[in-house]
Amino acid sequence: MPVTLDPDAAAVFKAFQEAGRPPYETVSPTEARELYLKARVVSNPEPPD
């Protein structure tokens, strides 16, 4: 059964796919942590002062 994502969640998922990053399960734990930290800044930046 297909899953329908919320439009905002679907947009985030699509952006991650289009970024060309490898799936977390295909890289080492260290590489996955580095990818996560880099993506977090883009996907959830610090709020402005």
d(CA 37, CA 22): 14
Q: Does the pTM exceed 0.75? A: no
**How is residue 20 annotated by DSSP?**
T
Closest CA to 21 of 5, 45, 10, 37: 37
pLDDT at 28: 98
pLDDT tens column, 22-46? 888 999 999 999 988 888 776 676 7
